[in-house]
Structure 1
C-alpha cells in the first residue's frame, strides 16, 4: 500500500511540475512572439502537443523511477510508452506545420507579382502532406515495435519484404504513379497553385495540388478533379507559366469597304480610355481576305486572364456598335450580279480604257511603313522582343552551295 501511494504521489507531483514548466515556457515564448513570427506560430501550434508530450514523459519517468511493484505495472508502463511516442509524434508534426506556416506567411499571393509566392506555396503544401504522412507511418511503426510479438516476427517480415513490395507496387500502380506525378509537378515548376490553365477545353485556375490529384476551379465555380498523371502525360495550356500578363484577340468579318485605318484609330482610343488595358499591345490587322469579306483581328493585352476576358468582350461590343452606327456599309454583305455583264453597264465596269493604246501603267505607289498599331512583331520594344523570341532558324544553303 505504501509503495502504491508513493507511486501515485510521485506521478502526480511529476505531472504538476511538468505542467508548470510547460506553462512557464509557453508564457516566455508567447511574450517573445511579439517580435518573432516563428515564435508566435510555435506558441499557437505547439503549445498543446508540447504540454501532453512533457507531461506524459514525466509521468512515465516517475512510474518507472519509483520502482513500486503493483499489479499490471508492466502494462501501465507499456501504455505510457505508447502515449509518449504518440505525443512526441504530435509535437513533431506541429513543429513542422509551424515552420511551414511561417514560410507561407512570408510570401503573399494576393499581390500582382506573385510568381515566386505561388511556387513556394505549392511546394510547401505538398511537403506538408508528405511530412504528416511520414510522421504517421514512422510513429505507427515505432509503436508496433514495442510489442514483443511484433519484434519477433520482424525478421521474417523483412525477409519477405521484397515479394511484398512487388505485390504492393503492382496493386497500387495507379496510386503510386499519381504520387510520383504530383511530386514531379510540384518540384519541376510545371504547375503551381493559382495558375491559369486550359484543360479539357475548360478554362480555370489551379485551386489545389495534392500528391494524387489536381483541383481546377472553372470560371463558373465548377471544380474539375484531374489525376496528377494527366498533367505529366498530356499537353495542357498554362497561361501564367512565367507571368500573368496575356494577349487576346477579337475578330470581325466585315465588308471590303471598311476603313481599316479608322478602325485602328478607334481601337487605340477605346483602349486608352479603359482601365482593363495594361498599355502593352494594341494592334489591329487584316488577317484574311477571302470569299467577299475580310477578317479584322484586334490584338490586345491585359494584366491577367480574367481582365483579358472582359477587355475582349468590351472590344467586341464597342465595334459592333461602331460598325452599325458609323460604318453601316461595312457590315458583311453577299454580292450578286443581276443582268448582262457584256453590256458594260455594271458599276465596276463603268471606267475602262477605250482602246489598247490608251492603257497607261499606274504610277508606282510610294512605299509606306505601317504604323505601330498595325504590327505585332516590331514597331515597339515589346514587338521587337516578340519578333526576337519567335524568329526562325537562319536560311539553310542550297545543295552544293557553300555557307559564307
Structure 2
C-alpha cells in the first residue's frame, strides 16, 4: 500500500514538474515571438509619417509582453491537465488585470497622440486649447473607469469577496444609502469634470480671475484646477468652484487681451499732444496687435486729472510688456516735455 502511495506521489511530482517546465518553455517561446513581432512593428512605425503608431507600439510593448505569456499558458494548459489546474487558480485574477492594463495602455496612447496633434503655441490657439482641455478631462475620467472595472473584476475572482457581495445584495437598501453618502464627493467631482468638458467654461491656457487672483489655467483635473499666477505661484481651485461661483475668463472668445495704464496729471496738461505721443508709441511697438488704442480723460479733481490709456496685445505676456513699456515711455516723455517747458520759460 505504501508503495502505491509513493508511486502516486512520484507521479504527481513528475506531472507538476512537467507542467512547470512546459509552462516555462511556452512563456519563453511567447516572449521570443513578442520580441520579433514588436521589432517588426517598431520598424514599420518608424518609417511611417504619423506619430500615432509610434506611440501605440511603444505603449503596448510592455503590457502585451505579459499578455503573450498568458496566452501561451492558456494554450499549453489545454494539453496538460496539471498546468490547467494551476492556471485556473490564477486566471480569474490575472486575466482581468492584463485586459485592464492593455485597455489602459491603448487609451493612454490614443490620448497622447491626440494631445500631440493639438498645438497651443500659435497665437490663435483657442480651438486647440479647448480640444486639449477635453482630452485632459476625458483621460482622467476614462482612466478612473478602467481601473475601477478592472479592480472589480479582479476582486470578483476571490471567493470571499464574491460571498461578501452576495451578502450585501441582500441588504441593498442600506448599502445603497451608505455607498451613496460615501461616494457623494467623488460622484460630484466626476459630474463636475464632465460638465467642465461639455460646457467648457475654461480651457487649458485660459487667463482667469478668481477670488481676486489672476493667472493662467495650467492643468484641469477631475477634482481641481491648477492656475499659475504671474509670480509662478500655483493656485489649487476645486473644479466645482468654476461651476458654482462667478469668475472672469479673459481669453474665452480669443487670445487677444486689452489692458489699461492710468496716469494722474496736472489739470493744465494739454491732452492733444499727449494723445498723439501715445498713438505714436503704441503703433511703434511690436507688441501691439492693432486692435485697440485710445486715450481718455476718465476723471478730474481740483488737484489732478485721471487719464486712461487703453491698448491691446495678442496674449497676456505681450500685454504686460506693452503696458510697462508704454507707462515708462509716457512718463519719460512727460518729464522731457516738462524740462523743455521750463527751459522755454527761463529763456523768455
Query: For this structure pair, what is the TM-score category when the shorter chain's length is used for normalisation?
Result: 0.7 to 0.9
Give 1:217 shift.
0.8
The SS at the match of 1:252 is strand
Residue matched to 1:78: 89
1:250 aligns to what SS in structure 2?
Answer: strand
Contact 2:225 2:236 (C-alpha < 8 Å) held by counterparts: yes
User: TM-score w.r.t. structure 2 length?
Assistant: 0.87
Match of 2:39 in 1: 27
Residue matched to 1:55: 69
Map 1:39-50 → 2, pairs under 5 A: 39-50=53-64
Change in 2 beyond 3 A, CA 1:222/1:20: same
Deviates more, 1:122-131 or 1:290-299: 290-299
Whole-angstrom distance in 2 between the partners of 1:187 and 1:92:
24
Shift of 1:236: 0.8
CA distance in 2, matches of 1:66, 1:4: 10
Larger radius of gyration: 1
Does structure 2 conserve the Cα–Cα contact (< 8 Å) formed by 1:4 and 1:68? yes
Q: Counterparts of 1:160 and 1:62 in 2: how far apart (Å)?
A: 43
Work out the CA distance in 2 between the residues paired with 1:39 and 1:6.
40
Q: 1:87 aligns with which of 90, 94, 98?
A: 98
Change (3 A) 1:33 1:314: same
Give the Cα–Cα distance (whole angstroms) in 1 for the partners of residues 107 and 182 of structure 2.
31
Greater Cα shift, 33-42 or 46-55: 33-42
Structure 1 stretch displaced more, 155-164 or 182-191: 155-164
Q: What does 1:3-402 correspond to in 2, within 5 Å? A: 3-34=15-46, 35=48, 36-68=50-82, 74=85, 77-327=88-338
SS across alignment from 1:48? helix
Root-mean-square deviation (CA, aligned residues, Å) is 2.3
Contact 1:179–1:228 (Cα < 8 Å) also in 2: no
| Structure 1 position 75, deviation (Å) | 5.5
Alignment match, 1:365: none
C-alpha deviation, 1:197, in angstroms: 0.8
Aligned-partner SS, 1:280: strand
Rounded to whole Å, the distance in 2 between the matches of 1:23 and 1:29 is 10
Q: Would you say the 8 A contact 2:261–2:327 is kept in 1?
A: yes
Equivalenced residues, count: 328
- How far apart are 1:129 and its partner, in Å? 1.5
Higher RCO (CA 8 Å, separation ≥ 6 residues): 2
CA distance in 1, matches of 2:215, 2:276: 33
Residues 167, 153 of structure 1: alpha-carbon distance in 2 compared, 3 angstrom cutoff = closer
5+ long unaligned stretches in structure 1: 331-404
Cα shift at 1:64: 4.6
**Larger fraction in helix:** 2
Match of 1:216, SS state, is strand
Return closer, same or farther for 1:162/1:57 CA change in 2, 3 Å cut-off: farther
Question: The residue matched to 2:333 in structure 1 has which SS?
Answer: helix
- Aligned 8 A contact 2:137 2:197 in 1: yes
C-alpha distance after superposition, 1:230-261 (max 9, x if no partner): 11111111111011101111122222321111
Shift of 1:329: 11
Matched position secondary structure for 1:264:
helix
Match of 1:335 in 2: none
Quick check: 1:64–1:77 contact (8 Å CA) kept in 2?
Answer: no
Q: Is the 8 A contact 1:30 1:40 kept in 2?
A: yes
In the TM superposition, structure 1's runs of 4+ consecutive aligned residues that sit over 4 Å from their partners are: 73-76
Query: Normalization by structure 1: what TM-score?
Result: 0.75
